[in-house]
Structure 1
Amino acid sequence: MSVTLKQVADAAGVSVSVASRSLNGRAREYRISETTEKSVKTTAAKLGFQPSQVARSLRLKRSGLVGVVVPDLSNPFFASIAREVTLAAEQDGYSVIVVDTRETTANEEKLVGQLLARQIEALVVCPVGQTQDHLSAIHDSGLPVVLVDRGFPDSKLTQVTSNHRAGAQQATELLLDHGHRLIGILQGLPGTLPNDERLAGLRAGLAQRNLDFDTTLLAGDNFSERSGYESTHALLRRHRGITALFAFSTPNALGALRATLELGRRVPEDLSLVTFDDIPFADFMSVPLTTVAQDVTALGRTAADLITQQLSGSKPPRLKNHCVQVHLINRNSIREVKR
C-alpha cells in the first residue's frame, strides 16, 4: 500500500496542511519553521512517501507535461532531437511524452489530439510537413507550439530549422569539384521544407557551374531507407552512367548502400555517395559517408528553450524563424572522376 500524506502528517505530529506545505516548498510562505519543515521531509523519506502527480496537477491546474511529436523515431536524427528536447525540458522540471507519427499527417493529427487530452502544457513538433492547419489552430488556442526541422514558409508558428539550402549547395559543389556531372538525387518527402530547400540548394550549385537540372535524375518519395533503396535501383537502371548519388537523409543513404551492394557497385570505387544529416557511428562504417551534418543539439535545445521561456510566463518569441547552420564533413565516400 502506498503511503498517504495523512500518514506522513500523523507520524510527524503535524496537520495535513502543514505536511503538504512543507513538502511543496511553501513552508516560508505559511510561516512554518525550518525545524518542522525538516521533520516532515525526514518523516516522508523514512516512510517512502511519493506525492501524487495527479493530485498535484489538479491542485495547481498544471500537468508538467510537454508533448514531443516526431515523424520517425527509428531515424537517428529525430531520435536525437527528441532526446535533446527531453533533457532540456527535464532540467526545467517538465516531463516529456514522445510520439511517433510514422510519417503520416493523419497519425500526426490523431496523436496531437491524444496529447492535448493529457493536458500537455506545450508542444514541440517535427511535423510531417505537408499541412500546418491543425498546428496553427493549437497555437491560436494559446498553447505554446514550436516546430523543428520541417517548418512551413511564411508560417506564424515559431520554427527552428537548419540551413538546408546552403548545406545542399555545398554538397553539390563538392561533387562537382570531384568531376561528377551525372548525379542521382535520392529525395525525401516532396513538398516538405527540408526537401524543397535541399533541391533549391542543389539547383543553385549546378547553376553556379552553368549546368542544368535534369529531373530524370531525381527519385524518391520519402526520407526512409526503403525510399533510398528503391530510388537507387530505379536511377541506376534509368541512367547507367551515374557516377554519384546525393541522398537527402541518412536513411536514404543506408538504402542506397544496400542497393549498390546488391548491384555489385562499390562505394566510392564505382559510385560516390554524399548524404544529408549525420549519425553517431558514421566514422565507424565500412564506408564513412561524406555528409552535411545538422547541429542536432542546437536544434533540440533551441526548441526547448523557446518552449520553456513561454512556459515561464515570458511573451511569445518575437523572432519566428530560427535558422541553425550546418557543416560539411568530407569523409571517404567520394572519388575523383576524370573529366
Structure 2
Amino acid sequence: MSKSVNKSITLKEVAAAAGVSVSTASRALSGKAEAYRISSATEQSVRKAAEKLQFSPSLLARSLRSQQTKLLGVVLPNVANPFFAAIAREITLAAEEEGYLVLLTDSQENSETEARLVDQLQARQIEGLVVCPVGIENRHLKSLAKQKLPLVLVDRGFDDPALVSVTSDHRAGAREGMQQLLEAGHKTIGVLQGLPETLPNRERLAGVQAALEDQGLKYDPGLIAGHNFDEASGYAAAKTLLTERPEITALFAFSNQNALGALRAASERGRTIPGDLSLIAFDDHPFAAYLAAPLSSVSQDVNQLGRVAARLLLEQIRTGKPPEQKHYQIPVQLIQRASIQPPA
C-alpha cells in the first residue's frame, strides 16, 4: 500500500531513512553540519532523505529553539494607495531576500486602529516593524522604541529623536513646486492640503510659504483648504476654493489623490486645465502622464523610501541596536508637464 501524501513526516523518520541519529539529522538540516563536523556526504544523505519524504521542519518549533520567527510587520494607512503599496513592495522584496515573511496590515487612516494593529503584530512575535503612520499620535510607537523592538517609520514621521524615520524632503519639494506656479505668472494659488497635523503637511506648507516669501508675496491662510490626503478631501477643498475665491488661477494639490479630486471639481465648474486653471501635485502617479493635460508633479522616490526603510530595519535586527543616524531624508524630483501654463 502506498504511503499517504497527507502523512506528517517526522525528523525521526528522516534520520532513519538516512541512517543517522535524530540529532545529526537536525544539525544537517539546520545548516550546522560543518560546526558539528558532519561530513558533506552525510549532510547530503540527510537532505536527500528529507526531500524524498517531503519533510518540512516545523516553523514554530524552529522559532522556539532559535528565538527567531522570521516575521516582520508592516502597517500602512491605506493599502490601496499606490504610494504606500509601492513602499510595501520594496520592503517585502528586501525582507524575502533575507528569509523574512512580511505581515501587511491597513490602519485605514485611524490612529486607534494603527495602535491595535501594532499590538496584534507584536503578539505574533514579529522581529521588526515598519509603520507608515497616520501621523497624529505616536505614544504607541514611542513605547515600541522603549521596548527596543526594531522599528522604522516611513513618510509621516515625527519630530522625535528616539524614533528612526525615513521621509522625503517635503519642504524643498513644495517650495520648488510652488516656484513653478509663481514663475509661470500665477499670483493667487489655492493649496489643497492633506492631514493638517502631520509632518509632511506642515513641511509642505512651510515650503509653500518660503516660495511666496522669495517672490515678496504674502502667505494667505484663506487660500488653504482640505483635511486629508484622499480624493474626497481634494474634491471638497477645490470646490470650496474655486467657489469662494474665483480669482484663483492655479492649484497646488498636496497628494495625487487630492489632485484627482481637484480635477473633478474643476470639471464641474467648467474650469479647463491648463486653459484657465493650472495644477500641480505633490506625488507622481502612473496616470499623471496620460491625462488630457499631463499633470506636473513633485515626485517622491517611493522605491528608495522603501529600500532605505527595509535596510534600516534589517540592520537593527542583525546588530541588536538602532542606527546612529535616526532621521533620513530622501530627495524629490520636479516633473514638468503640460498642466502648468501662464494665467489666461
Alpha-carbon deviations, 1:276-325, whole Å to 9, x = none? 11123432333321111111121111111111111112532111111111
Match of 2:196 in 1: 190
SS in 2 for 1:32: coil
Match of 2:3 in 1: none
SS in 2 for 1:267: coil
Equivalent residues in 2 for 1:136-151 (5 A)?
Answer: 136-151=142-157
1:324 aligns with 2:330: yes
Match of 2:53 in 1: 47
Match of 2:64 among 36, 58, 61: 58
Superposition deviation, residue 235 in structure 1: 1.1
Distance, in Å, in 2 between the alignment partners of 1:10 and 1:154 is 57
Q: Which sits farther off after the overlay, 90-99 or 170-179?
A: 90-99
SS in 2 for 1:274: strand
Match of 1:230 among 236, 240, 249: 236
SS in 1 for 2:319: coil
* Gaps in structure 2 of 5+ consecutive residues: 1-5
Superposition deviation, residue 261 in structure 1: 2.4
Alpha-carbon deviations, 1:25-52, whole Å to 9, x = none? 0111112111111111112222222222
Match of 2:130 in 1: 124
1:11 aligns with 2:17: yes
Alpha-carbon deviations, 1:159-201, whole Å to 9, x = none? 1111100000000010001111111111000110000000000
Distance, in Å, in 2 between the alignment partners of 1:126 and 1:290 is 25
Distance, in Å, in 2 between the alignment partners of 1:326 and 1:75 is 19
Distance, in Å, in 2 between the alignment partners of 1:92 and 1:178 is 49
Distance, in Å, in 1 between the alignment partners of 2:163 and 2:221 is 32
Superposition deviation, residue 7 in structure 1: 2.5
1:220 aligns with 2:232: no
Displacement over 6 Å in runs of 4+: none
Match of 2:309 among 293, 298, 303: 303
Alpha-carbon deviations, 1:49-85, whole Å to 9, x = none? 2222111111111111111111111111111111111
* Gaps in structure 1 of 5+ consecutive residues: none
Say what the alpha-carbon RMSD is for the aligned residues: 1.3
TM value normalised by structure 1: 0.96
Q: How many residues align?
A: 338
Distance, in Å, in 1 between the alignment partners of 2:195 and 2:285 is 20
Match of 1:104 in 2: 110
Match of 1:180 in 2: 186
Percent identity between the two aligned chains: 56
SS in 1 for 2:15: helix
Distance, in Å, in 2 between the alignment partners of 1:103 and 1:321 is 23
Superposition deviation, residue 259 in structure 1: 2.0
Alpha-carbon deviations, 1:130-173, whole Å to 9, x = none? 12111011110111111111111243211111110000000001
Match of 2:339 in 1: 333
